[in-house]
Amino acid sequence: MANVSIKDVARAARVSHPTVSRALRHSSLVKPDTAERIRSIARRMGYRPSAVARSLVTRRTKTIGVVVTTIADPFISEVVSGIEEVANENGYSVVLANSNADPEREVQVAHSFHERRVDGILVTASRVGARYLPLLSEMKVPVVLINSHHPAEFVYSVRIDNVTASRAATAHLIELGHKRIAYIGDRFGFQSDTERFSGYREALERADLPFLPQLVVHGDGKAEGGLHAIATLMAMPDPPTAVFCYNDMCAIGALSGIRQRGLRVPNDISIVGFDDLLIASYTHPPLTTVHQPKQQMGRAAMRILLELFSNAQSITNIKMQGELIVRESTAPPTR
Amino acid sequence: MANVSIKDVARAARVSHPTVSRALRHSSLVKPDTAERIRSIARRMGYRPSAVARSLVTRRTKTIGVVVTTIADPFISEVVSGIEEVANENGYSVVLANSNADPEREVQVAHSFHERRVDGILVTASRVGARYLPLLSEMKVPVVLINSHHPAEFVYSVRIDNVTASRAATAHLIELGHKRIAYIGDRFGFQSDTERFSGYREALERADLPFLPQLVVHGDGKAEGGLHAIATLMAMPDPPTAVFCYNDMCAIGALSGIRQRGLRVPNDISIVGFDDLLIASYTHPPLTTVHQPKQQMGRAAMRILLELFSNAQSITNIKMQGELIVRESTAPPTR
DNA sequence: CCCCCTGCTGCACACGTTTGTATCATCCCA
DNA sequence: TGGGATGATACAAACGTGTGCAGCAGGGGG
């Protein structure tokens, strides 16, 4: 019934349990042939050292906590896939928790990670609650924020240069000749939304185009939000000829809303997204968007933790560049 | 530097550490007002009991291992989101590992879960390696398979009735008048592929339609595979008028391939998918597909584990019904 | 031949909890 | 007033590892 312990192996090998411990960790303190004998016995008995007992004494769990708003978000799941890859390569396990962007839930997650004594924490969320971060840093464990940033002790970040990328995306539309360019954002207060919005404004400014507040609508970062937002925009007396969307899901919702009105992309209206999700190249028409190196960002975040575990000090903030991918959802305006 | 332990709290409260332990767990053995006093001190000190020390003595980690082929798969990530929800409601943490359907990796994951002493394991993969399952059941811990099935000790399952659902999907195409219906499958040897394929064949048989082996092509379960597969089908001298796809991603690839050839869905060819991913209603045209209750399946799987932890015996195998959702990618054939 | 050094192994303790049992004070009742 | 029951607390052991240190055997050198 119970699991085979190190003492069971020791008994079987007629040695003490510390010797077994050393043999399995290839310590030079134990004679090579006894070590081999012990290892073969352990193998035969199907012995697996208990990570929990080990963690108790080493004070390391080899575990990292990953908080996401929801794992069902395609952007997030790709980031997590990158995290998981590097974590596993280095013997770390990933504990996943979703917060649903609910402050109460965030507190619970922080407590749970604290009790589990995770070695580090990765946060993938476009918004991070104010009560949340102090709680995380309370446990004196490094925290890496992905696509958000907060200057604080123990807190590092990996993010994309939202402003530059958004400016490039908007500039692309301007170069095509668009003058009335709308912005569909995420919910208010989300850091990356704010940054992408200011990139959009900067591009308008540089091109001496007027900023029209009525052309800014907010969705929910999902397809449905894009659908509603585009409805608002198209109902205007003088609708935009191009739309820059906060993210691809939003853009996909917008595409769908435009079709429902019998209009065509890019003939009647141009659309630009953000993220470059896998589906972005399979939409109709294929979506012009900003590529984010999602897996790479996850990998980089995990690597920061690993560095922190070994070297103590290293690079702590990484800013990556997005890349505008021009596909077929953008064209010069016809009007 | 170090975390505050139960002994620190005991010292501060001038009691023994077992008393603190009991006070925090609201044991009736400790006097109500001392208990309250201890709790308030613990709160003030920011004490969080160590789950690892607790697990060592209780022999329960309150942790479940979740294996996925890849978390970046939208079907899987929704299932995991359901798992996570129920797990957290009940104080369980989820440790995530992806296998990439690589047998060697599967073995590693099994070892990792064993060492971490997870209380149960959930597997979300359309294929489960032969060496894999014995390894998992070796640790005498319940395993719930999602969308695959293997009769074995300690092994339970939650799956969708693939045969019935696929039969319904194919029958829908037949009712519309289609006679040359293709099937785009996943890679060979995947259990759900085999089942969906046999549902397809059964529907043809019941309608007295001939089964044409050349109309069966295999993809990779992703959009790219659908793209290649449709290319093969459309290059035939007498191409199909309808295609039933193994899953939505595959169908999305097919939609894209059809458009590239200047043909239209459903006018020139009808497409049916499987899964009903969130994007399925946003494709062009919106996709006719089989709805799988993805989150619900994840929740059900986690609930089986919870039952097993408490009651010892309960329902062990759940088979859910899919639902055909008719949208706009299917219509009567024009030829 | 003795001593010291080296190479290997065992002993004891620590990590932070939970839990069974012993101890002790208090109170009630005989 | 003494004894037993009751309620509250402390003590000790256990969970399965890792590790510093002591001990012990054997070999080599003086």
Q: Is residue A190 scored above 90 in pLDDT?
A: no
Say whether the CB atom of B55 is under 7 angstroms from strand C: no
CA distance B119 to B315: 18
Work out if A332's Cβ lies within 7 angstroms of strand D. Answer: no
Question: Considering just the CA atoms, what is the radius of gyration of chain A in Å?
Answer: 26
Cα→Cα distances A123→A65, A126, B73, B185, B216, Å: 8, 9, 20, 37, 44
pLDDT digits (tens, 9 = 90+) for B289-330: 999 999 999 999 999 999 999 876 767 789 999 999 999 999
pLDDT for residue A143 is more than 80: yes
Average pLDDT over residues B245-272: 96
Report, as an integer, the average pLDDT of B7-28.
95
- Residue A146's H or E segment, with its range, is strand A143-146
Joined together, the tokens standing for residue B99 give: 């296998």
Is-cis flag, bond preceding A18, omega within 30? no
Rounded to a whole number of angstroms, the distance from the CA of A208 to the nearest CA of chain B is 36
The pLDDT mean for chain A works out to: 94
Tokens standing for residue B191: 């259990």
CA dihedral (B53, B58, B62, B65) in degrees, to 10, reads 90
**C-alpha span between A306 and A314 (Å, rounded):** 10
State phi, psi for A55 to the nearest 5 degrees: -60, -35
Looking at residue A45, its amino acid is M
B279 and chain A in contact, CB less than 8 A: yes
* Torsional sign, CA A167, A288, B281, B127: negative
- In chain B, residues with a C-beta closer than 8 Å to the C-beta of A56 are 50, 52-53, 56
Which CA distances in Å does A241 have to A170, A181, A255? 12, 6, 13
Start-to-end C-alpha separation, chain A: 77
Write down the pTM of the prediction: 0.94
Counting Cα atoms < 13 Å in the Cβ hemisphere of A217 gives 25
* Rounded percentage of chain B residues whose pLDDT exceeds 90: 84
pLDDT at residue A42, rounded to an integer: 97
Reply yes or no on whether the pLDDT at B253 is more than 90: yes
User: What CA–CA distance (Å, rounded) separates B285 from B271?
Assistant: 10
Q: What is the mean pLDDT of residues A67-80?
A: 96
Cα B114 to Cα A166, A223, B8, B25: the distances in Å are 46, 40, 32, 28
CA of A97 and C1' of D20: distance in angstroms? 39
Which residue in the block uniquely carries the two structure tokens 């309608």? B207
- Identify any residues that bridge with A238 across adjacent strands, giving them in sequence order: none
Distance (Å, rounded) from C-alpha A270 to C-alpha B64? 46
Of A75-89, A191-205, A243-257, B136-150, the range with the lowest mean pLDDT is B136-150
Interface list for B 221-240 with A (CB within 8 A): 223
Residues of B in contact with A140 (CB under 8 A): 1
Strand C–CB B18 distance below 7 A: yes
Residue B2 pLDDT: 67
Q: Is the CB of A3 less than 7 A from some atom of nucleic acid strand D? A: yes
pLDDT tens, residue by residue, B195-228: 999 999 999 999 999 999 999 999 998 999 999 9
Q: Strand D contacts (CB < 7 A) among B residues 166-195?
A: none
Using a pLDDT cut of 70, give the percent of chain B over it: 98
Q: Which nucleotide is nearest to B32 (CA to C1')?
A: D8
Stretch among A95-104, A111-120, A304-313, B7-16 having the lowest mean pLDDT:
A304-313
Average pLDDT, chain B: 94
The string of pLDDT tens digits covering residues B146-169 is 998 887 777 899 999 999 999 999
The token pair at B170 is 């194919």
Spatial distance between the Cα atoms of B166 and B289, rounded to a whole number of angstroms: 10
The verdict on B95 touching A (C-beta cutoff 8 Å) is yes
| Structure token pair of residue B224 | 């790219």
Q: What is the C-alpha separation between A271 and A273, in angstroms, rounded?
A: 7
pLDDT above 70: residue B1: no
CB contact under 8 A, B56 and A51: no
Distance (Å) of CA B237 to CA A169, A298, B210, B232, B234: 44, 47, 18, 11, 8
Please, which residues 30-59 of chain A have a Cβ atom closer than 8 Å to chain B?
46, 48-53, 55-56, 59
Rounded Cα gap, residues A52 and B327, in angstroms: 51
Using DSSP, state whether A23 is helix, strand or coil: helix
Which residues of chain A does B228 touch, with a Cβ-Cβ cutoff of 8 Å? Answer: none
Percent of chain A with pLDDT over 90: 85
Sign of CA dihedral B33, A138, A69, B141: negative
Could you identify the residue whose CA is nearest to the C1' atom of nucleotide C8?
Answer: A30
At B121 the three-state DSSP class reads strand
